[in-house]
Amino acid sequence: MHYIKGVGMTKFDIENRNSMDFAEDAIMLALDDSGLNIDDLDAVVVANSDNAFNPERQRHFNSFLSSFFRRRMPIIRTPAVCGGGGVALWTALRLNYNNMLILGTDRLLTAPSELVTDQILEAADRIYEQSEGMIFPAQNALVAQQHFMRYGSNSDDLALIALKNHENAFLNPKAMFYGKKVSLEKIKSSPVVASPLRLFDCSITVNGAAACVISKDKTNIKISGSGLAVDYMATFERDDMVTWTAIKNAADAAYKQANLKPKDIDLAEIHDAFTIVELVSYEDLGFAEKGHGQELIRDGTVKLDGKLPVNTSGGL
């Protein structure tokens, strides 16, 4: 059994600093919060992506971390792109060490949007998706279209999700949109990226890092369960485009370990690269029946003052 002993996070924004600077800030904040120092660590698990457009032109980030820690201990890298932080934590929980540091860090905003989009597309299949121009906004637009047609959700629902997350980000000093008001009218009138997704339905690219220290020494925050699952890479290869089996399987594993059910959850942070991803996740995490996820944003359940606040940080 592991417990959270300390956490640390940089501000996520467009600041153009060295990747190691972001990592160092998050690491030291987490260590300070934990009351431990570097010599107390037994292992490190790090998640980051090797960005070819990063002007640092570095690889093997975990090896460079070794120069920072100056400790002979395992430093394991889990390159899982969008799921990197979660995969790093899941991996650490299955290692038999007492004190471990988990780090997620990336410096993505180093090139024009079209080049960053091309770089991110390298996470897609080179035949089915890359050669056909199936960038991730386009694929998630197909998911949104399917959900709209089958379950009666609509662009207004997605706009409300975007509004909720911007309202939450407004309150978060670590968020890119901290203190920046974004109105529903601005969201609904923003440019179409891939119909029906508009600009504010899509996450932005930023730089930053976050870290946590976990320990077998008991604290008041126990990690009760964790799950990891994978699915087909391409959205259109899945059995049901609007049901993501990996989310369901990972959530079921975590619920089982924790001896909890979806109705027991009080707060959730969900990967929301696109607003439709958050909506589908409501359903696949068991917070709503399939086809009814939109009801949670319509009735305010997932807002900050609702029964189940989602993405209180502001999300991506």
pLDDT tens digit sequence for 116-132: 777 788 888 888 888 88
Give burial (CB, 10 Å; 0-12/13-18/19+) of 181: exposed
pLDDT of 52 reads: 65
User: What's the confidence (pLDDT) of residue 120?
Assistant: 80
Predicted local distance difference test score (pLDDT) of residue 51: 66
> Rounded to whole angstroms, what are the CA distances from 69 to 98, 121, 154, 280, 313?
17, 33, 50, 40, 29
8 A C-beta contact, residue 107 and residue 19: yes
Instruction: Record the tokens describing residue 38, joined without a space.
Output: 């570097």
pLDDT under 70: residue ranges of the chain: 50-54, 58
Q: How many residues does the chain have?
A: 316
DSSP 204: P
pLDDT of residue 62: 81
pLDDT the model gives residue 33: 98
Give the C-alpha distances (Å, rounded to integers) separating 272 from 65, 202, 236, 303.
29, 8, 19, 15
Helical residues (DSSP H) of the chain, grouped into ranges = 19-34, 61-69, 84-92, 113-120, 136-151, 155-170, 184-188, 245-258, 275-284, 294-298
pLDDT tens, residue by residue, 50-66: 666 667 776 778 888 88
Closest CA to 210 of 121, 86, 73: 86
Contact 45, 84 (CB under 8 A): no
Domains in the chain, please, with CATH? Answer: 3-109+208-215 (3.40.47.10), 113-204+225-298 (3.40.47.10)
What is the reported pLDDT for 53? Answer: 66
pTM: 0.94
